[in-house]
Amino acid sequence: MMELTQKQWVRHAVTHPVEGFEDMRWKKAGSLKIALIVIVLLFFGQIAYGRLYGFQFYISYDKTFNIVPYIVRSFVLFGAWVIGNWSVCTLLDGEGTLRNICVYSAYALIPYVVQLYLNVILSHFLIRDEYVFMQIIELIGVGWTAILLFSAIKSVHQYSFKKTVLAVVLTLAAMFIMLFLLVLFMSLIQQIFIFISTVYTELSYRAKV
């Protein structure tokens, strides 16, 4: 079987959606460092897409910059996907490790990340009548990533087509549950903080009186 560098494995996995991840699995290839770089690029790509998009295509009405939504759309969603898939596929006798799920899923996101940056750049050169070209690029990037992600899960766990579909559906359900619980937890923390702040303010006021 082929001997490739880590960078060459990235290109092989992205350009060969059917056998790319399968080859990676058998050669035990894949770099956690490169996977992290992809997620960081996704984070900055989301920011660029939301803040630097050409004004003729998108106008941001946000007066202040809030980094939290971009963290959620990149690091949090990706982490929820990896943990959710690992949890679900552990019950479904999947063979993938947490590390491999993370690496393969990050590699699968590369077309989506590329289209983010490409469309941001094109938004400053194209006119509104040429927006269809940007839509095509976005469609290709999202569709390509969806195919790669499905192939990655199928290969890393050695599932059949039907079982992979089931795993993806259950993973999305697990993500929804985790994010819902995270929102509840953050809301609880906020309420506790408000309560403590109120008590402190009241005690400080009484102490001065």
Calpha distance 145→129 (Å, rounded) = 27
Across 60-74, 119-133, 152-166, which has the greatest mean pLDDT?
Answer: 152-166
- The amino acid sitting at 127 is I
pLDDT value at residue 209: 59
Going from N- to C-terminal start, the domains of the chain cover: 6-177
Please, which residues have CB within 8 angstroms of residue 147's CB and are 6 or more apart in sequence?
A: 17
| Percent of the chain's residues with pLDDT above 70 | 96
Give the tens place of pLDDT for each residue, 40-94.
999 999 999 888 887 777 766 666 778 888 999 999 999 999 999 999 999 998 8
Please, which residues have CB within 8 angstroms of residue 16's CB and are 6 or more apart in sequence?
A: 23
Calpha distance 67→197 (Å, rounded) = 24
Calpha distance 69→208 (Å, rounded) = 40
Tokens 């569709």, located at residue = 143
- One DSSP character per residue, 24-80 reads HHHHT---HHHHHHHHHHHHHHHHHHHHSS-TTT-----SS--SHHHHIIIIIHHHH
